[in-house]
Amino acid sequence: MPATGDREDPFLAFRFLVRIDREALGGFSEVAGIQAEVEVQEIPEGGVNTFVHKLPGRARHGNLTLRRGLVSTALWEWFAEIMGGVITRKTVVVELLTPGGDDVPMRWVFDSAFPARWLGPELKADQNTVAVEAIELCHHGFLVES
């Protein structure tokens, strides 16, 4: 039995930093799509009717979506380059921070990312909200560092 006070608390999801090619482009309010899965191939064996062999196939990674308050045109400019036929792939790093913000217990590094979709803010004259942009990034997978 562990001693009183010896426990590992889960990391808090509201303290994080996003870097694109080592540059922090303002504060992001949300990161979604940190996910991976392995396709499963089912192979039936002749004469064996009690189960089907399941083998791992290719890995698939979902698109990464970043949301932030609109502060500059940097993300739009990257997306506009892609629309213009200039493919610029970048490394995107998402760092989870400790509550004090002085340590990085976990980091996700997304390789060869490029924007596939950009969403502008919803502008409504009757609301007092922050103008938020979102960008959806395709990538070649990610590494988890701790």
Distances, alpha carbon 135 to alpha carbons 78, 81, 139, in Å: 10, 14, 13
The predicted pLDDT at position 88 comes to 94
The predicted pLDDT at position 26 comes to 73
- pLDDT tens per residue across all 146 residues of the chain: 556 667 777 777 778 899 999 888 778 889 999 999 999 999 999 888 899 999 999 999 999 999 999 888 999 999 999 999 999 999 999 999 888 878 899 999 999 999 999 999 999 999 888 899 999 999 999 999 98
Which CATH code is given to the segment(s) 16-34+63-145?
A: 2.30.110.20
The predicted pLDDT at position 38 comes to 97
Considering the entire predicted model, what is its pTM? 0.83
Q: Which two tokens stand for residue 92?
A: 């995107």
Of 95, 91, 80, the C-alpha closest to 28 is: 95
Total length of the chain: 146
Q: Which two tokens stand for residue 12?
A: 């808090």
